[in-house]
């Protein structure tokens, strides 16, 4: 059982992580002005539907973000009353993040940006084909396009979940909008946001002067498998999707 003291410490830890990770969006030039947002799930250890998440406030400059200004929400997207930062509005994309957390309990982090090259593929409604081994490693194949959806109800969140559930890719290009990425935690989702812009850019540039050579599917499969299980200092489990098992 998690005590309220434990919960406070957990929330503070996720606040710090989510606040820090916004600096990575700036470093990799994925965002401008106050655009873009990172959130992280606070896993309370009970029913995942009762978890919380921490997200960026709306319309605040990246220079001014601090752990205390991050906003704590329940999985229905409501601000937790009386929590630090609760006098402010959360990101206008909060409902989409909340929908993902409610419907994909394995997801621990969500990121949204308007990064340039990913938006360009999204504006054409075109998936990014897998023509680089680094892309096979990271996304296990193409990066898919999600439906056109506008803010105001659950349609963005639903589009993300319907596209990514059971898919190897942790990134979706929402049509005419931009990329959303998920991960086992907020850092993993930020990595996916960084990598999706990188592959969007490299494959775009490759295509400008001719057709890239496709990678055979069995090679894509073995690259993805190896990367998920061997790369780095400790094995990284692929997010297993309970709804798919």
Give the residues lining the site for a copy of itself (CB under 8 A): 28, 32-35, 57-60, 88-89, 92, 114, 116-117, 119-126, 131-134, 148, 150-152, 175-178, 191, 194-195, 198, 201-213, 215, 219, 222-223, 226, 230-233
Please, which residues have CB within 8 angstroms of residue 114's CB and are 6 or more apart in sequence? 31, 32, 35, 36, 178
Residues near 54 by beta carbon (within 8 Å), at least 6 away in sequence: 11, 14, 15, 18, 39, 40, 42, 70, 71, 72, 73
If the CB atoms of residues 42 and 195 are measured against a copy of itself, the closer one turns out to be 195
Name which of 44 and 215 has its Cβ closer to a copy of itself.
215
Which run of H or E residues covers position 145? strand 145-146
Q: Provide the minimum distance between the beta carbon of 167 and a copy of itself in the complex, in angstroms, as a whole number.
A: 21
The nearer residue to a copy of itself, 36 or 40, going by C-beta atoms, is 36
- Minimum distance from residue 52 beta carbon to a copy of itself (Å): 22
Q: How far is the CB of 215 from a copy of itself (least distance, A)?
A: 5
Nearer to a copy of itself (CB atom), residue 42 or residue 224: 224
Q: Token match 């990172």: residue? A: 38
Q: Nearest CA to 121 among 101, 143, 149?
A: 143
Q: What are phi and psi of 42, to 5 degrees?
A: -100, 105
Smallest distance, a copy of itself to C-beta of residue 109, A: 15
Least distance (Å) between residue 149 CB and a copy of itself: 9
172's enclosing H/E stretch is strand 171-174
Query: How far is the C-alpha of 159 from the C-alpha of 93, rounded, in Å?
Result: 13
CB nearer a copy of itself, residue 20 or residue 241 = 20
């Amino acid at each position: 059982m998690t005590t309220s003291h434990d919960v406070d410490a957990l929330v503070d830890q996720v606040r710090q992580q989510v606040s820090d990770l916004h600096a990575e969006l700036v470093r990799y030039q994925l965002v401008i002005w106050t655009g873009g947002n990172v959130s992280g799930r606070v896993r309370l250890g009970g029913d995942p539907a009762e978890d919380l998440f921490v997200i960026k406030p709306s319309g605040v400059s990246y220079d001014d973000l601090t752990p205390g200004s991050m906003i704590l929400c329940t999985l229905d997207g409501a601000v937790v009353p009386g929590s630090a930062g609760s006098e402010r509005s959360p990101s206008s994309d909060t409902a989409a993040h909340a929908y993902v957390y409610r419907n994909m309990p394995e997801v621990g982090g969500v990121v949204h940006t308007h990064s340039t090259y990913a938006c360009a593929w999204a504006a054409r409604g075109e998936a990014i084909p897998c023509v680089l081994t680094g892309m096979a490693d990271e996304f296990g194949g193409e990066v898919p396009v999600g439906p056109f959806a506008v803010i105001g109800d659950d349609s963005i969140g639903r589009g993300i979940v319907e596209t990514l559930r059971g898919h190897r890719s942790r990134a979706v290009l929402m049509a005419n909008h931009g990329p959303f990425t998920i991960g086992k935690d907020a850092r993993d989702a930020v990595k996916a946001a960084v990598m999706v812009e990188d592959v969007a850019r490299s494959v775009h540039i490759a295509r400008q002067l001719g057709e890239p050579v496709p990678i055979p599917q069995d090679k894509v499969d073995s690259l993805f498998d190896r990367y998920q299980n061997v790369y780095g200092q400790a094995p990284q489990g692929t997010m297993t999707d309970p709804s798919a098992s």
